[in-house]
Structure 1
Amino acid sequence: MRQIIIIGSGPAGYTAAVYAARANLNPLLIASSVEAGGELMNTTEVENFPGFPDGILGPDLMFKMQAQAEKFGTEVVLDDVVSVDLSGDVKTVTLGSGAVHQALAVIFATGSAYRKLGLDDEERLSGHGVSWCATCDGFFFRERTIAVVGGGDSAMEEANFLTRFADKVYVIHRKDSLRASKIMQDRAFANEKIEFVWNSEVVAINGDQTVKSVTLRDTVNGEKSDLELQGLFIAIGNDPRVHLVHGQLDLTPEGTIAVAGRSSKTKVAGVFAAGDVIDPTYRQAVTAAASGTVAALDAEHYLATLPKDLLALAVPAEASDLELTTTA
């Protein structure tokens, strides 16, 4: 049995692992079989994470975080959690491989998932012109005409990145102004390959084997028109990954895991949450990392309150007499 299991491998999960490992809690981190590293694995250049004045590629940042967590003793498992039992003093985590792990404390750092348009042909044409990841698929659209749906920072970042490959990039937005930060807007407006399609929403994706066009509906007058293109990148936000905790933890009206105040404490003793799965507002790598710190420290303090006979079940024999101390 473990002292602590961390579910999720984005900035929150890896930061929690660094702190937990440095506190001699021997954490097990479940990183996912196909999405290890979280959303930043699909991000191009990260310019706003402290310590990297020249920026850093999202995947490079996550590899460094993983290496740091492992350096201090975190065990990283590339598998998917299929169910959890959070009742009682000992929590149970079951993986897709069939492996079952138990721990006295669990941190959920499961992040969020790409939001979809909900159109009939969206899934059918996924991988055949429809994508949610410019860094993954941009290379396949050299000298093509493509579009990005969305109006936030992610959409502007995707559009600018895709101009490295595509001849033309439309940005389709259902309003007449963007919600992206000014610096990201300025970059997109200054890019000659980007053209904005305002007050428009995608209502159909057309093509037999691959994307050939999209049908747009004007959000002002309701008129429909077709826009010919070969690729559609969807960047309209994310939804928190909370499917594992339905019926076990409370959720907020925004759908995130509910925690007490500025802490990471859920309604269940020994269960904590961090990162985008509790944050519907800021959703930045640096705030997720800070949240992971809070979760690790909260978990450490919780473990320090448990009876010694219970702790002895999880702590290696040679370390069973060590006193758990807070790591700054």
Structure 2
Amino acid sequence: MKLVVDTGLWRTDTEAEAAPLAAVLEVSGAVLAWTVDDPDPSAPPALTFTDPARADWLWRVTGERGHVELLSALEDGPDRAVEVADLQLLAAPLAPLRKLALGHWLRRWWPASRRDGIALLDAALLDAEIAVLTAAAEAFFTDDTLDSDVAELLAPHAAALASHARSGDSRVRTLAQAALELGEQNGIDAPDLVDAGRGRREDYALAAGGGNRSGALVIADGVDSVRWAGVPASTFDAAEDTVDWSIEVADAAVVAAVRVALTGSGDPAGIAVRLVSAAVNATGVLDSSGTARLPVFDSGDRPLTEAVAWNHDWSTTAVTVGVPVGESAQTRARLRAFARARLTTATADAFLAEVLAADSLY
């Protein structure tokens, strides 16, 4: 095994793709990352040590001798690289960690889309299974990490899990009951009566594609796409071209109307939106329906006049929803293909939420 120094931290020379193509898990003293659509489930992770001394689980994935040799090499080795001969990470003890990393990826990046036919995952059941798996892997979480907080996973879903615990589906019932017991151990009380649908958008809300609803005069229109890494999870439809924009004249004022397709339980209210077309720009925030009407300004930050708007070339118009990020359409297409494959082909590491989503397609 070869280790190198990267931005001041030791890491193995195995590399994983960057987000959103990486499934990442922070354990005590280290961060593990796998390329999410790697066809080999036993492929070793990219391992970055945040504090090797805290990684007291390391012997479980290297063997006791490997643990000693690795820590000794890191302490005594050169500043930039070190080689530990005949040392490999063991696939079997890493398998549950890989599944946990995948679960966190599903929480953040699952590309639910009405337009693309990729079903929503039940957030309560997904977080419940991640919590149960985290508790089972407690030896890897001997101190607090970003991914070790079981209570944080379960607290938002107490009501839904209480309802699931009375499900006629034994798989759902068993998981929900286990999660509720785990929640009680972590100080979360399950309510007696619940509304299973509360706090969740059961049907996909499609705000985009509705055309001009204001009755205003439309000068130009077009579409753009949401960059997943720039927005909160479980809020927007993950298909391409789900951002509709139009330049309109209403009451002698030029405005940019933006509509974004929604899905999941997230609230888009307050998420930034910016339209840019050469020197023309419009900035504001979405409302809870995923829409915004924005005043349009010229290069001098003056309100754009109707005459200038009619003569402007709008062909280069781009709309950014959320934080600007560099993310390609090819990356998003690759992850949609991965999601579809998980819904159509049984995998050993499937979460119950995925299994139920696949069942809903038939």
Q: TM-score range by the shorter chain?
A: under 0.3
Structure with higher helix content: 2
Instruction: Provide the TM-score with structure 1 as the length reference.
Output: 0.24
Choose between structure 1 and 2 for higher RCO, CA contacts under 8 A separated by at least 6 residues: 1
TM-score, length basis structure 2: 0.23
